[in-house]
Amino acid sequence: MIFSESQRFIFFAVPKTGTHTVREALRMHLAEGDWEQQLRYGKQLSPLPEIAAVNHGHVSYRQLSGAIGVTALSGFFRFGFVRHPFDRFVSVCAFLARTDPSYDQDPTDWMKRALLRPQFCKRVLVAPQHALLSDDSGAVALDFVGRYESLQADFDAVCDRLDLPRAALGHRNRSEHDAYQNLLDGELRDALWQRYEQDFVAFNYSP
């Protein structure tokens, strides 16, 4: 997450949607009093104790609104990015299994077994994207939701909205994996549809 008082924006970082690339492009525009929370590259924590206690950079709208109030959030341009749920899940698994040889032997089986582990399913990396970006009523609470699939164009739109110079996005923290179409069988697709149905509907993705 990035909270910029100076530029009046809040960037909600959904895991595996190009968040570190976006962070890098935004960081140069931050001023004293602005803050970022992330632990992947170094460690930066929010000055708000409730948010720092989350202890990762993927702070949800509900967590932040609980800390500072919905009214305070309404004065900021709130944005984030989402990704096709199947593609994002494969990317998350490839990232988490990057040192596990059994993943390379059979990625499909690894992902099926992962969904059976309660601790795996509780991780913020595999949380539904909708859950991170919605308010208490279940409505998406951001002003702009871009897509990983059109990351550069949608980031340009954010820059235009904030009156910031556009910047070419690079690549950071990218997972190496085959296309999800080659890795998901019918059983795994059904399991992921059940888990992420709200993401498909809220962000208009087709399974």
What is the rounded CA–CA span in Å between residue 207 and residue 200?
A: 7
Cα dihedral value 154, 159, 163, 167, nearest 10: -130
Q: Considering only CA atoms, which of 178, 17, 190 is closest in space to residue 94?
A: 178
Pair 94, 197: CB distance under 8 Å:
no
pLDDT one digit per residue (tens) for the chain, 207 residues? 999 999 999 999 999 999 999 999 999 999 999 999 998 777 899 999 999 999 999 999 999 999 999 999 999 999 999 999 999 999 999 999 999 999 999 999 999 999 999 999 999 999 999 999 999 999 999 999 999 999 999 999 999 999 999 999 987 656 677 899 999 999 999 999 999 999 999 999 998
- On the CB side of 32, CA atoms within 13 Å amount to 0
What is the rounded CA–CA span in Å between residue 97 and residue 91?
A: 10
Cβ atoms < 10 Å from Cβ of 73: 17
DSSP state of 28: T
Pair 52, 46: CB distance under 8 Å:
yes
